[in-house]
Chain A
């Protein structure tokens, strides 16, 4: 085992950051740690892989991201790493930042000031849809919110080349809240942390249903163009309302399971 890995402290031994950051940053840290735990709880994590980031309130160019090496179920508010858009680490940590995570998330945070949280996964159904030329199809109510609201990005290799950022930004576009990373996985954006989680939960379920619907081999039905148009607008008008509504319940669930995310 390499020295770098051996020097990573046990998550229980990471000192609290609560008194070292603004109350707003602390709140973001708690919500983001909760989001990592939820992604794991709902079966969407991939060991130490993938990442979720949140902009630091009041610090335009800084965002929080996971300590690479901790599992999502271990992440705490204090263990999250603050990094700026240039890749400079702004908080004390013994853990590295995943290089591909930095590339992907800095790209979105730099270009999309309306987005507060960016969430990326490698789920079975997400990876499967990402390997289809047709992409996401309007086959379910869950998929309807992604009509004209999702981009596609071709695979270029492990995202450690910073040049890829301009193509990520181009492919996400100025308004879309989701991106299918072809041959790789899924990405959602949120106007806040609950919203990014909410969008991912919907996108994941939409992918699962699409795979199963298509796998049956029988003729599938898509939502009619007129209804696509009206449903798309219904979702647009809701903003973060439904996501916010569910968040308190998510936190209650985590508090019952393991409240250590708040530390």
Chain B
């Protein structure tokens, strides 16, 4: 039986959005072969979330291929043809369990993201894009490949109760959104913030800093927008995918 016929309409919609998000991360050059993962909570099913079939490339992922798992690590998809990535389970189960307000958790290993994750200073408020994360981004120290489930409590502690982004030091980026589209939007902005920071700092020249009150004012402006910024672009993203390859919807 087709997966679509075995799940609720709400779960199917989430599957389509999440598959689209994998494709978009790849389209915008933020994928890393079969590595990294994006997770989305299953609506109406406490403790269950969707994760990628480990071994499929992001440009191959479809709504039906996503695997449902719960916080205990029980795979709820019957006879999946693929396994889950263990580190992906650790990281995303931690985020989704610790943060009931988060619907989607997105992790990448981009060039600029890893570069900023190696800097002691972390993300600096050097661009409008980065203002969204002004004093509202978390940091998590590297502990090795995240297959030790004990790390979950430290991931939860470091993310905290309010931030929507975290730098995994010496590793990469993590964004979490109240919807799939918001997670993508936040991650896109975070990635661009990192790119601009790396380029600006690479010059060795004196940086132009933004006064603290302007940073705070801008953060407030952006937070007041809620999920609106992510929503505005999302239909356009889906149109783009539909033009290129609509198979994500299958």
Q: Residues of A with Cβ closer than 8 Å to B?
A: 1-2, 5, 8, 10-11, 46-48, 68-71, 73-74, 122, 124-125, 127-134, 155-158, 160, 182-185, 210-211, 214-215, 217
Contact = CB atoms under 8 A, between A and B. Distances in A.
A211 B202 contact: yes
B236 A74 contact: yes
B163 to A, nearest CB: 20
B205 A132 contact: yes
Interface residues of B, number: 37
A102 B136 CA distance: 29
B128 A1 contact: no
Contacts of B199: 124-125, 127-128, 211, 215
Contacts of B170: none
Interface of B: 125-129, 131, 181, 185, 188, 192, 195-197, 199-200, 202-208, 210, 214, 217-218, 221-222, 228, 231-236, 239-240
A51 to B, nearest CB: 13
Given A5-B234, A132-B205, A160-B221, A184 B200 contact: no
Nearest to A184: B128
16 contacts: A1-B234, A47-B188, A68-B232, A71-B240, A127-B127, A127-B195, A130-B208, A131-B196, A132-B206, A158-B128, A183-B127, A210-B203, A211-B199, A214-B202, A215-B202, A215-B203
B234 A124 contact: no
The 7 closest A-B pairs by CB, nearest first: A128-B199, A214-B203, A127-B196, A215-B202, A131-B200, A131-B126, A128-B200
Contact of B127 (A5, A184, A210): A184
A182 B208 contact: yes
Contacts of B131: 157
Most A CB within 10 A of own CB, among B126, B128, B197, B222: B128
Given A74-B239, A124-B199, 7 more contacts: A73-B240, A124-B196, A127-B196, A132-B205, A211-B203, A214-B203, A215-B204
Contacts of B188: 47
B182 to A, nearest CB: 11
A48 B196 contact: no
